[in-house]
Structure 1
């Protein structure tokens, strides 16, 4: 593979939460980066992450093959980060996460580019969640079009701009209670966005095994109750944690899926919480993890205080020992 400065990497979906960290990690390694996004005029925040002219946003929509092929042209590596948490209009799970992933992989195959495809640990063709089923369908389509592709499956990702820890911290600021869907027993392995970005950059470097699926999790397996308790401790909020049976949570989600902002809850999100979201023993044994790539993952408790302080009653002026 040519030196990074001579290597063009096209990143689809690079303007979102994970994307901006991936772009920063690639820019630090001196790659030339083309970012395929639906609204390039709203991706100007990416350019300061690298040197002048190093990062170039272009218009691309994974639902339109011609735009994907144009964005992929001349690239040596294609990274697909495109995914959605909730459907809206033409942006359906099937169109984006299954067919869209296939479109990206086929475009890469046509030009002989390597593929790094980001999925999720919860990907499962037999899942009751359409989100998880389409993630699995996307993986299968990618490997069919590009058998040497690297699949990256993170657990729930946290970081400064996430829609996970920030969301619950915001809810705790305005509500006297937080719901524990299914009793809060679901096991997760929260992984820091910076560690995921480093792993993806390593895959672009060629440090991962061709055709392998990597599962990325943080250093701790935590239940939803553990996570909410950690968020409340960091934000110095005293809130009741109220168990909410899956049946009732699903019923409420039929209405809350139309709610704005932090109140939004979709049926797919409820279904995802029925299954644990942790790194498998098979992945650990095969070394297909962060540790297998030589990355020591950061914990939620170590990183989250650096950005969740803003949800404390007095923000940065809150006593450290409170």
Structure 2
């Protein structure tokens, strides 16, 4: 499938983040002008060197005002929004970043006649969930569509790669802790319709998606309009299986301890008070729903050749 981006002006919100760096690296292989919008220019210096001399322009995002966003989008052919957060604090809120910002970007894109708009959401946010993260993401989708109906929305499962906040988190925890938590409620079942057996949870189901494959999918579908794609990797794994893969390639042994949701919630209520919390009560709510998709892998493999599995990529960055 041939994609022509020659001469295009592409603006990427959140282009200096985890997904953004992979996307910018792939976009820079085309003869296009790339504008990367970032809230932290100091931490984004290396992004400029992913492309040819003068190809990538870095712009600091100071606020989310209508005028500021519209001024940045003015003159762009394609706009991609990667901005998202995993937790709230006094500097960042779900309602502003996930819900309001997509609508603002949609209005500005329509005002300045942008041809294509791609928005990264998350898998499963359309379901009836209690998580504020999920609800804010889904509201953001609706706000975007109301302003820019031709927008393409991508809903990836958990994304992994060298700089991810998922695999690396538990790899770091395993460096100092002999125990790793498997969050989920145990269930009772009757063996031979008589003997009660306690079945400990193996954790939430995930369908991990390699960040490089997600970046490639964005480029392959960059000219699409008015679509929603669920995206997921080739394998469905429970949380314990993911932990076992991490331990396998770190060549260490650790104990996997079942942690019921009620206990995890208490722990998260304390941990979430930290400046950069490892776990929040809102994330516990997310873990109560499996993060998998019936169509996610087929959508991905229609455009990405040989999508990478967790077991193929993890050994390249976990030691």
**Does TM, normalized by the shorter one, top 0.5?**
yes
In structure 2, list runs of 5 or more residues that go unmatched: 185-200
Task: State the match for 2:64 in structure 1.
Answer: 63
Give 1:210-221 correspondences, 5 Å limit: 210-221=225-236
2:213 to 195, 198, 203: 195
Give secondary structure in 2 for the equivalent of 1:234.
helix
Aligned to 2:312: 302
2:317 aligned counterpart, secondary structure: helix
1:276-313 CA-partner distances (Å, limit 9, x unpaired): 111234x67xx6x111224321000001100102xxxx
Q: Does the residue aligned with 2:68 lie in a helix, a strand or coil?
A: helix
Of 277, 289, 293 in structure 1, the residue corresponding to residue 291 of structure 2 is 277
- Contact 2:269/2:280 (CA < 8 Å) preserved in 1? yes
Aligned to 1:32: 33
Counterpart for residue 320 of structure 1:
none
Tell me which residue corresponds to 1:316: none
Unaligned runs of 5+ in 1: 310-322
Verify the 8 A CA contact 2:217 2:304 in the aligned structure 1.
no
Superposition CA RMSD, Å: 1.7
Larger Rg: 2
Return the alpha-carbon distance in structure 1 between the equivalents of residues 158 and 62 of structure 2: 25
Name the TM-score, length of structure 1 as normaliser. Answer: 0.89
- The answer on whether the counterparts of 2:102 and 2:144 sit within 8 Å (CA) in structure 1 is yes
Give the match for residue 238 of structure 1: 253
Tell me, in whole angstroms, the C-alpha distance in 2 between the residues paired with 1:300 and 1:190: 7
Please say if residues 220 and 299 of structure 1, whose CA atoms lie closer than 8 Å, have aligned partners that are also in contact. Answer: yes
Quick one: distance in 2 between partners of 1:237 and 1:30?
Answer: 46
1:251 aligns with one of 257, 266, 279 = 266
**Aligned pair partner of 1:266 in 261, 276, 280:** 280
Aligned-partner Cα distance in 2 for 1:171–1:64: 39
**Inter-partner Cα distance in structure 1 for 2:146 and 2:71:** 22
Cα-to-partner distance string for 1:54-94 (whole Å, 9 max, x where unaligned): 11111225622222112111000100000000112141001
In structure 1, what is the equivalent of residue 192 of structure 2?
none
Kept in 2: contact 1:61–1:68 (CA 8 A): no
